[in-house]
Amino acid sequence: MNKKNIRILLEKVKNGKIDINKATSTLKDLPYKDLGYARVDNHRSIRNGFPEVIYCEDKSLDEIEGIINEMLKHDNNILATRAKRKVYDRIKTIAPETIYHQRSKIIFIKTHPIQETESKVLVVSGGTSDIAVAEEAVVTARALGSQVDTLYDVGVAGLHRLLDSLEKLDEAEVIIVVAGMEGALASVVGGLVDKPVIAVPTSVGYGANFEGLSALLTMINSCASGIGVVNIDNGFGAAHLASTIILQIEKART
Amino acid sequence: MNKKNIRILLEKVKNGKIDINKATSTLKDLPYKDLGYARVDNHRSIRNGFPEVIYCEDKSLDEIEGIINEMLKHDNNILATRAKRKVYDRIKTIAPETIYHQRSKIIFIKTHPIQETESKVLVVSGGTSDIAVAEEAVVTARALGSQVDTLYDVGVAGLHRLLDSLEKLDEAEVIIVVAGMEGALASVVGGLVDKPVIAVPTSVGYGANFEGLSALLTMINSCASGIGVVNIDNGFGAAHLASTIILQIEKART
Amino acid sequence: MNKKNIRILLEKVKNGKIDINKATSTLKDLPYKDLGYARVDNHRSIRNGFPEVIYCEDKSLDEIEGIINEMLKHDNNILATRAKRKVYDRIKTIAPETIYHQRSKIIFIKTHPIQETESKVLVVSGGTSDIAVAEEAVVTARALGSQVDTLYDVGVAGLHRLLDSLEKLDEAEVIIVVAGMEGALASVVGGLVDKPVIAVPTSVGYGANFEGLSALLTMINSCASGIGVVNIDNGFGAAHLASTIILQIEKART
Amino acid sequence: MNKKNIRILLEKVKNGKIDINKATSTLKDLPYKDLGYARVDNHRSIRNGFPEVIYCEDKSLDEIEGIINEMLKHDNNILATRAKRKVYDRIKTIAPETIYHQRSKIIFIKTHPIQETESKVLVVSGGTSDIAVAEEAVVTARALGSQVDTLYDVGVAGLHRLLDSLEKLDEAEVIIVVAGMEGALASVVGGLVDKPVIAVPTSVGYGANFEGLSALLTMINSCASGIGVVNIDNGFGAAHLASTIILQIEKART
Amino acid sequence: MNKKNIRILLEKVKNGKIDINKATSTLKDLPYKDLGYARVDNHRSIRNGFPEVIYCEDKSLDEIEGIINEMLKHDNNILATRAKRKVYDRIKTIAPETIYHQRSKIIFIKTHPIQETESKVLVVSGGTSDIAVAEEAVVTARALGSQVDTLYDVGVAGLHRLLDSLEKLDEAEVIIVVAGMEGALASVVGGLVDKPVIAVPTSVGYGANFEGLSALLTMINSCASGIGVVNIDNGFGAAHLASTIILQIEKART
Amino acid sequence: MNKKNIRILLEKVKNGKIDINKATSTLKDLPYKDLGYARVDNHRSIRNGFPEVIYCEDKSLDEIEGIINEMLKHDNNILATRAKRKVYDRIKTIAPETIYHQRSKIIFIKTHPIQETESKVLVVSGGTSDIAVAEEAVVTARALGSQVDTLYDVGVAGLHRLLDSLEKLDEAEVIIVVAGMEGALASVVGGLVDKPVIAVPTSVGYGANFEGLSALLTMINSCASGIGVVNIDNGFGAAHLASTIILQIEKART
Amino acid sequence: MNKKNIRILLEKVKNGKIDINKATSTLKDLPYKDLGYARVDNHRSIRNGFPEVIYCEDKSLDEIEGIINEMLKHDNNILATRAKRKVYDRIKTIAPETIYHQRSKIIFIKTHPIQETESKVLVVSGGTSDIAVAEEAVVTARALGSQVDTLYDVGVAGLHRLLDSLEKLDEAEVIIVVAGMEGALASVVGGLVDKPVIAVPTSVGYGANFEGLSALLTMINSCASGIGVVNIDNGFGAAHLASTIILQIEKART
Amino acid sequence: MNKKNIRILLEKVKNGKIDINKATSTLKDLPYKDLGYARVDNHRSIRNGFPEVIYCEDKSLDEIEGIINEMLKHDNNILATRAKRKVYDRIKTIAPETIYHQRSKIIFIKTHPIQETESKVLVVSGGTSDIAVAEEAVVTARALGSQVDTLYDVGVAGLHRLLDSLEKLDEAEVIIVVAGMEGALASVVGGLVDKPVIAVPTSVGYGANFEGLSALLTMINSCASGIGVVNIDNGFGAAHLASTIILQIEKART
């Protein structure tokens, strides 16, 4: 719906190449398909090569199936997040090539190959317990085309584990830090590099952790500059942000 | 302090090109100058061309002067944030070229010219009341070398104001969204572009705004993917994150 | 218990048309029936044609049945909210015409026809996951006599979906906006119209959403004027408020 | 920017009655004037007869003067909220007819007469300490054309004071309830009427009142249906919402 | 362990009527029995005729049985709160006279008769859903000897239901108000009487009720003086406080 | 407005002893005087001998003077809380007998003597810093007729100071505990006595005290039964509650 | 990775006693074993005789088994916290000597004997319901070599129970206080001794306890000096801190 | 008031060496002096050589002077915390040897020399802005006899500054970590040592720091074991806890 498109459409209307009802209808129908309970956006993925995405939480199996059925018509890759196993069981009946990443609860339907970027995203996690969220970021970033490396279980309570892996930090263009409990890892990584760091607080912890609030506040208040924070447990969002950054870098390469 | 440097040092030690005390001392003294109350980091700015930065809040005038005096020895540009006017009055006595951005309370001491990047940061703000924070982002991003454009007073309560400026959104590589009250602008911008969006909640508002908490939560929970959030009123942090992204893009250009 | 009624009663007492004990007893017994565990209010619905309403959460099956049995004596329509399926199973044994709206967990017992209003309520929802709450509003508003239209899955992350449906916004007298996550949709809709907007935050989301708190704060702090907010997930309350507005409009029509 | 307007414009483009650049420019320039630091919206007030509004908090005197100067060009009434006395002192130099409501900190510039509505808004307040907020609602509602009545100091700790004024509740089409401390007044009023109630929590109170949070939560959780809540101390917002309701009722009258 | 007892003991020690080790041991062993995991206090109940009390939450069946076994040795009445049915099933095997109040989850073992007080406690509840907590107060107050009356389902949304029962308010010496949702009932009752009101917020409600926090804040901030608040859902605590007041009144009667 | 009065009025109406307009007007005018900005309640104090009370916070000097002027017509004692010195300076010009308690910011105008009760309230405070709030309770309780004793600076960090004063605890009928910081004193006192304890959290403390929230939560969660909590710093409320208890005890004495 | 070690390594490199790759590799491989999903730290336990520790929450059975298998290679004692029974069932198949402390959910694998310290840790708990957390502290402290004594069910509501056990307080070098509800016990104990007190808030309680937040705030705000607080329910952390203190004391003994 | 003393007293009573009134009075008068508004505890300092301490916040100048006058009678050292300059100005008139530490707002009256401990406390701070709190800890610890070293401005955003000072960490027996913003320094230090770490969150920061709450939560949730947390900005408390630990170590040395 950007201005350039509007102008082109106006030109066509003026030149009589398109009639007004058609023009109005085009504007209306192009970007999505209205299923009643959902409006499937066929639009975004075409623009940048990203897959179409569906967030499964709080949706019924029928709704998810309906939305994916619509998506399958456009021959895009499809990513379904927060998908319970029963979602997978249903979807593989309509799309046999569906892959299920159990730990991160992501479904990926790869209908066409992905070209991996030259730039690299590094996903760093604090503890073994944070891996589910870290994997959500890894799977998402790969589905969005980014090259991904990982560095797990390097929490600040054993700093030498992180310091031994500085090369990995040096080699990535963007770093995603996934950490629960007090979330101090983001500040430490942010202090070691001068590149974009995306921090994902996790709900791992107990007591005054308050389901991730503690890690969220830590990261938002980080004394290290250059850190952007996403929602608690939102590995998907971090990977999406990382991939938009990578996209800009790749554009600059060409 | 990265591994490569350590290895080079080890080589030199082995070859007898450097003696052990010297090596240890090098490791120790290189990266900063200890002033007792502060350790000035001469290191970081050299690496990436960013200016040295000092956060003035809760520091005494004497401490700020001492730190800047030390910084001035290295011929770097210097940025001092959250600086009251009396800080400026003091600092210009030791650095006459000091510039004071009153609205954003930033001091900038430009000892050498900055090469502006080809990539662009766009700073978008919700209302006139958010401009102080927006300007902190603008001044910082420019001091860090980024080319900057602005788009002010385009809050969601008058959506047409934003929709009329889509070109500006299209032209930037990174977008910083500054918004108070309910902070919905970040989600709307995030839904219109597929590029990195950095959201800065401001403390503008009253009542259940709780000094910016409302806008912070809105932005962290945004239904639009690809948004990284920084602290309330932290225009500096947003600009720093934007500039590390720009840095990666510029590297790719070359 | 309004003043006019008191004055009429006083007149009757004075004229000896009613004796004092009777008068006192009338005041006491008229408005409700005391079941011990509940006082059924037969009063309100008669006044404005609204159905009698029972909130089922935290009530036992026996209590619910008892209350509805009492209500059935007055030949009013009955609405039971937050009703689990087992409530429906019990109630249909005493009122076979009972209809169960499973998604919104509402039971409706329609003992007499409803005259639909000329004015219209539009229920707008942000995402497919918010539909359960939106449907609670739809079913309630219809049971209260309002004409209802819907506009689903028009969240701000895909703004064009909303902008393509501006006509629906134009055609309604009152708009209910149901949105979870960051709840920005209320501000956007509020900025597009000059008519009453009722915002319902939902608990849809995760992490720093804190069970709907994020959306609630967003809506309460909206920079768009003319928005009234109800409790998290309170589709019923929004519809009730909408219907009292519609009632005033319909009165003015006549 | 609604669809009808777009269609008309398209027609004109097709018929050659308007050229494309002009059309694009029309869309762009019509709705507001860009002052750099602010975009004055000349649009909204024309549509519904409401005055133009400016929120003065966090804006400089120069900015406020600049915005009002722009507004004065359109011959609309102007309302400036949260205006300190020094704002008034400045503005009356450019608009001598300016009136300052000191208690509610509202400036009103009445450039043309207002036709009072037949429908009535009643503003009810809990205690004498809440009057500043109540007056903000009263002045705003009157400036927006609504007929207004008031009922002050009828807090629930002395219930008979409210019960003696039931007639006032009966005579209004919309009721605004302003209350601090625990805010219970909204529930009590909401239980006495079947008409729209708009609740304004105030920050009056101390201790666990937490600057109005207590009253806000009370009102949001009200067991009385049909209550819409606005932000703490937001008398303006309540009056705006009330006036959009009145507007719908008045439309129905004609 | 009050001073008078210490002085008596000192007298005995001085007069040689008791030897020092014995005196020390007396001080040590008198007030309770150490079971290892619990110290049963045989002391308190003797003093004022109150039953011995055990809070069952987070205790194992074995621990509860052990503690009650110890209590049974002293021939006091025993009250066990927050007792699941399986606790009752276990306890009735060792104390067949055990009575289980299912709704309020209280076990009462009445080993000797209770003399009912002349003074009266009135337990008022807002809605049917609050009855479980109200009943906890009723059963506890009766077990502590107080005469109890009840007034249920008189929430402020239907004020006439409360106003019709003012006599009950007049007849009691102490009033316990149990209310969830917004908890406004406490303020209304507190405004109608000049006697001690004890307010019990309940966790009944949803959304921004935050498990009773809303009602708690309402009651703590009540504009009606003379209200003391206990913990959310703490019917037991309210009844205990009421009974200590009744105890003082009864003492004064004699 | 209680039932007995209504019945008497009805009798008079029936017997023609009073005409209807008069009756209605009586009901309306009796209980208070409407000053426009305030409704002075002349009613309550007559009933129970308590003084009339005015809360000065957020009221203007003129309003306070107006209200007290009205109160002075009824020859009652008058208590004005949260009164700054300038309020006192104004009021003593209209009521020379006015006394100002500076520490607790209470004004007392004693127009007739108070009969001290036989029962006693004990006010206990944790630290010297809590005395301002404690004194608010002391002055209020005395103005309400209660006999008052005090026990200051007996915080739990030096438990022996409290244990040495057990006699004072034994001699009172009601105990008010005033404590800031963590507020543990209420639990300790509550565990030592079987009489009503009223707990007043104060805002004394810093850091995670959050303006008294910490002490409030401590007191609400007390493991000692029989504690009723009032708002933070609300010494007045505690004394009012204590005095209603004392009133019931005194009634029983006669 | 401390400086002394680095210097020794440098010496060896200089003297040719170790080649550079080896040195780099030593630094890299010594401190832990990378399992992919976890980095087992073999290092810490060797230094101070503490066992290796694994936190089982949010880890899969396979991961836990893998980590413990790696740990078993180093012949250290192993402590696994927050271990459900099924973890124990799995682990005992690979380490038959495994002991399971069911109440505190701790697994202990004792591969070599522990020398008990001369200094003593005393674990004090408020109520029977807090014992699970207290036992976590006891088992941990013993596994870390500390001599441990306990004092259970001495909550402040029955102060005499604590005052009768002052000797136990006198005999310990470090005291751990475990308490839920309002957590006042920490302040009372802290006021009775001049030795390090470690406070563990527990989530025992209900209502405004907010899962232990109340006890946490109480302890953090304690008016008694010399109290360090750990996370809610973190018996392990308290014991670990106590044991590091004991370690310093034991060092001083020798 | 420990048991041994009671037993000695009992012995004396038995042997007639002391009469009963005297014994009771001794128990009563020994431990403190009652000034009416304060009870000065002369007791504690004698026991362990610590100075007497007075917290000046919320106390009047007269009260502070009165308390210190009483303290001066016992020839102890005196520490007055949170003392504004005007407190110092007053106190030096009665105790000329008074020293004022302006940054940390501590007054120290050293009436007799302090023997410095062999064991050492290290105070580590994150940033220059945290020094005021750090100095409160330093001055307090020294006044309590501990040997103190400092390590300032070693925040995690420049990790090399901390890693270069590992020797200081190695040399201390107890470490106090003072840090604001996100407070991650405590976790990093806690991960580097196996000795007691006391964490002091500071209120330094802005926005979502919420006056130190962020740092407090970070420290309470630290993934590094062996950390005890004190209140926000409570340098005094941290030093007191550290000194009680040092006291135990010193005892073991002898």
Q: What is the ipTM of this complex?
A: 0.86
| Lowest-pLDDT range of A47-56, B133-142, F124-133, G18-27 | G18-27
Region for residue B145 given its phi and psi (left: phi exceeds 0; alpha: psi -120 to 50; beta: otherwise):
left
Question: Residue range H202-216: average pLDDT?
Answer: 92
- pLDDT above 90: residue D110: yes
Report the gap between the CA of F103 and the closest CA in chain G (Å).
23
Comparing CB atoms, the residue among C167, C196, C251 nearest residue D244 is C196
Residue G58 has pLDDT above 60, yes or no: yes
Reported as a single tens digit per residue, the pLDDT across C160-172 is: 788 878 889 989 9
pLDDT confidence of residue F58: 86
pLDDT of B47 strictly over 70: no
Strand-pair category, C52-55 with C78-81: parallel
Amino acid letter, residue C92: K
Per-residue confidence (pLDDT) for residue E248, from 0 to 100 = 95
Confidence band, pLDDT 50/70/90 cuts, at residue G16: confident
Torsions phi, psi for H32 (to 5 deg): -160, 170
pLDDT of residue B79: 94
User: What is the 3-state secondary structure of G138-186?
Assistant: HHHHHHCCCEEEEECCCCHHHHHHHHCCHHHHHHCCEEEEEECCCCCHH
Q: What is the pLDDT of residue A30?
A: 44
Quickly state the pLDDT bin for H1 (edges 50, 70, 90): very low
List of residues 6+ apart from B92 with CB closer than 8 A: B98, B100
Nearest-CA distance H180 → chain F (Å): 12
The widest CA-to-CA distance across chain B, in whole angstroms, is: 71
* Residue E222 forms part of a structural domain: yes
pLDDT at B29 over 90: no
Q: Find all residues with CB under 8 Å of E90, minimum gap 6, and list them.
A: E61, E64, E65
DSSP state of F242: H
Closest CA to E39 of E66, E19, E9, E79: E66
> Do residues D192 and D169 lie in contact, with contact meaning Cβ atoms separated by under 8 Å?
yes
- What is the rounded average pLDDT for all residues in chain H? 86
**Is B4 part of any domain?**
no
Kindly state whether E131 is in contact with chain C, defined as any CB-CB distance less than 8 angstroms. Answer: yes
Q: Is residue C114 part of a domain?
A: no
- The answer to whether residues B90 and B131 belong to one domain is no
E213 touching G (Cβ < 8 Å): yes
DSSP H or E segment with residue F41: strand F39-41
Split into its structural domains, chain G has a count of 2
For residue range C52-107, what is the model confidence (pLDDT) as tens digits?
A: 899 998 899 999 999 999 888 877 899 999 999 999 999 999 999 999 999 999 99
% of residues, chain F, pLDDT over 70: 85
CA–CA gap between residue A121 and residue A130 (Å, rounded): 18
Could you tell me how many residues make up chain A? 254
Q: Which residues contact B14 (CB under 8 A, 6 or more apart)?
A: G13, G14, G16, G20
Decide: F and B in contact? Rule: 3+ Cβ pairs under 8 Å: no
H228 CB neighbours in chain G (<8 A) are 198, 227-230, 241
The pLDDT of residue G149 is 97
Copy the structure tokens of residue G242: 């106590």
Inspect the interface and report whether the beta carbons of B213 and H209 lie closer than 8 Å. no
Residue G22, domain member (yes or no): no
Report the 10 Å Cβ neighbour count for A248: 22
Model pLDDT for residues H49-92, shown as the tens digit of each residue: 688 899 998 899 999 999 999 888 877 899 999 999 999 999 99
User: Is G115 part of a structural domain of the chain?
Assistant: no
State whether A99 and A124 are in the same domain: no
Pairing of strands B120-125, B99-101: unpaired
Name the residue among D250, B206, F139, A128 with its Cα closest to residue C249: D250
Residue with the two structure tokens 């300016």: D98
Q: Note the pLDDT of residue A15.
A: 74
Question: B128 and B103, same structural domain?
Answer: no
- Which positions in chain A touch C208 (Cβ < 8 Å)? 212-213, 216, 231-232
- Are residues F249 and F126 part of one domain? yes
Calculate the alpha carbon distances from E178 to C60, D155, E131 in Å.
18, 21, 8
Instruction: Give bridge partners of residue C52 from the DSSP assignment.
Output: C78
Confidence label for A8 from pLDDT (cuts 50, 70 and 90): low
Radius of gyration of chain F (CA): 21
How confident is the model at residue A225, as a pLDDT?
85
- Minimal Cα–Cα distance from A13 to chain D, Å? 6
pLDDT of G169 higher than 80 = yes
For residue G6, the distance in angstroms to the closest alpha carbon of chain H comes to 12
Looking at residue G97, its amino acid is: E
Confidence label for H133 from pLDDT (cuts 50, 70 and 90): very high
Distance in Å from the first CA to the final CA of chain D: 26
pLDDT in tens, G59-75: 999 999 999 998 888 77
Q: Is B62 on the interface with H (CB under 8 A)?
A: no
Least confident of A65-79, G81-95, G153-167: G153-167
Joined tokens for residue H195 = 């000795």
pLDDT of residue H112: 83
Does residue A231 belong to the interface with chain G, where contact is any CB pair within 8 Å? no
Please check the confidence at residue G27 and state whether its pLDDT lies above 80. no
Local structure of F195: helix, strand or coil: coil
The pLDDT assigned to B16 comes to: 72
What share of chain B in percent tops pLDDT 70? 85
CA distance C214 to B186: 14
In the structure, what pLDDT confidence band is assigned to residue A21 with cuts at 50, 70 and 90?
low
Instruction: Count Cβ atoms below 10 Å from residue F176 Cβ, excluding itself.
Output: 30
Q: What is the Cα–Cα distance from A189 to H97, expressed in whole angstroms?
A: 49
D150-164, G201-215, H10-24: segment of lowest average pLDDT: H10-24
Residues A162 and A102 in one domain: no
Same domain, B65 and B35: yes
Contact call for residues A119 and A171 (beta carbons, < 8 A): no
Interface chains of chain C (3 or more CB pairs under 8 Å)? A, B, D, E, F
Taking contacts as CB-CB distances below 8 angstroms, the residues of chain B near A48 are: 194
**Is residue C6 scored above 60 in pLDDT?**
no
- The pLDDT, as a whole number, for residue E160 is 77
Residues of chain G neighbouring E229 (CB-CB closer than 8 A): none
DSSP symbol at A145:
T
As a whole number of angstroms, the distance between CA F157 and CA F154 comes to 8
Helix (H) or strand (E) holding G217: helix G213-220
CB contact under 8 A, D10 and A16: no
Q: Pseudo-torsion of CA D159, D164, D167, D169, nearest 10°?
A: -20
Residues A155 and A219 in one domain: yes
Q: By the CB < 8 Å criterion, does F191 face chain G? A: yes
The residue among C37 and G20 whose pLDDT is bigger is C37
* One domain, residues D125 and D244: yes
Number of other residues whose CB lies within 10 A of the CB of residue D114: 14
Contact yes or no for B14 and G11 at CB 8 A: no
Please state the rounded mean pLDDT for residues H188-196.
91
End-of-domain residue from the set E109, E128, E149:
E109
H130 pLDDT band (50/70/90 cuts)?
very high
Above pLDDT 70, what percent of chain C?
A: 85
Could you say which of C54, C88, C109 is where a domain stops? Answer: C109
Considering the domain architecture, whether residues C71 and C196 belong to the same structural domain is answered as no
d(CA C215, nearest CA chain B) in Å: 7
Q: By C-alpha distance, which of G1, A196, A225, H209 is closest to B41?
A: A225
**Residue H24 lies inside a defined structural domain of this protein:** no
What pLDDT sits at residue G33? 66
Residue F29: predicted pLDDT: 41
Answer yes or no: are the C-beta atoms of B100 and B77 closer than 8 Å.
no
The CB density around residue D43, as the number of other CB atoms within 10 Å, is 15
| Band of residue D28 on the pLDDT scale cut at 50, 70, 90 | very low
- Averaged pLDDT, B211-229: 92
- What are the tens digits of pLDDT across the range C8-58? 665 676 677 777 666 655 544 445 567 777 777 655 544 456 888 999 988
Identify whether residues F248 and F136 lie together within a single domain.
yes
Q: D30 pLDDT band (50/70/90 cuts)?
A: very low
* Contact D166/E at CB under 8 A: no
Residues A79 and A169 in one domain: no
Do residues H202 and H127 both lie within one domain? yes
* Helices H131-143 & H235-253 angle (0-180, nearest 10): 40
Give the DSSP letter string of chain B. Answer: --HHHHHHHHHHHHTTSS-HHHHHHHHHHTTEEE-SS-EEE-SHHHHHSPPEEEE-TT--HHHHHHHHHHHHTTT--EEEES--HHHHHHHHHH-TT-EEETTTTEEEE-SS--PPPSSEEEEEESSGGGHHHHHHHHHHHHHTT-EEEEE-S--GGGHHHHHTTHHHHHH-SEEEEEE-TT-THHHHHHHH-SS-EEEEE-----GGGGGGHHHHHHHHT-SSSSEEE--TT-HHHHHHHHHHHHHHHHHHH-
pLDDT at position H143: 95
3-state secondary structure of A53: strand
For residue B4, give the chain G residue with the closest CA. G24
Residue A28 has what pLDDT?
44
Establish, for the pair of chains B and D, how many residue pairs have beta carbons separated by less than 8 Å: 61
- Summarize the confidence of residues A126-153 as an average pLDDT: 95
Q: Is residue E80 predicted with pLDDT exceeding 90?
A: yes
Rounded CA gap, B66 and B70, in Å?
A: 6
Strands D147-151 and D120-125: parallel
Q: Span F178-182, mean pLDDT?
A: 92
Query: Does C161 touch chain A if contact means CB atoms closer than 8 Å?
Result: yes
pLDDT of B176: 98
At which of A58, A83, A109 does a domain end? A109
pTM of the model: 0.89
Least confident range of A46-60, B195-209, F208-222, H231-245: A46-60
Q: What is the CATH number of the domain that holds E166?
A: 3.40.50.1970
**Quick one: average pLDDT of B186-209?**
93
CB B215 within 8 A of CB B187: no
Tell me, yes or no, whether G128 lies in a domain. yes
Q: Does B198 touch chain C if contact means CB atoms closer than 8 Å? A: no
D191: how many CB neighbours lie within 10 A of its CB? 26
Among all chains, which residue has been given the structure tokens 């007791």? H43
| DSSP structure class, residue E110 | -
- Where does the pLDDT of residue C4 fall: very low under 50, low under 70, confident under 90, or very high at 90 and above? low
Q: Is residue G52 part of a domain?
A: yes
Q: Quote the percentage of chain A above a pLDDT of 90.
A: 59
| DSSP letter assigned to residue C182 | T
Q: Which of E74-78, F99-103, F136-140, G235-239 has the lowest mean pLDDT?
A: E74-78
Whether the predicted pLDDT of H2 surpasses 70: no
Q: Tell me which residue range forms the domain holding D220.
A: 120-253
**Backbone torsion region of residue H220, taken as left when φ is above 0, otherwise alpha when ψ lies between -120 and 50, otherwise beta:** alpha
pLDDT digits (tens, 9 = 90+) for B93-111: 999 999 999 999 999 999 8
pLDDT tops 70 at residue E44 = no
The structure tokens listed for A89 are 């069981």
Structure tokens at D163: 């019960």
Contact call for residues H112 and H45 (beta carbons, < 8 A): no
Q: What is the pLDDT, as a whole number, of residue D32?
A: 58
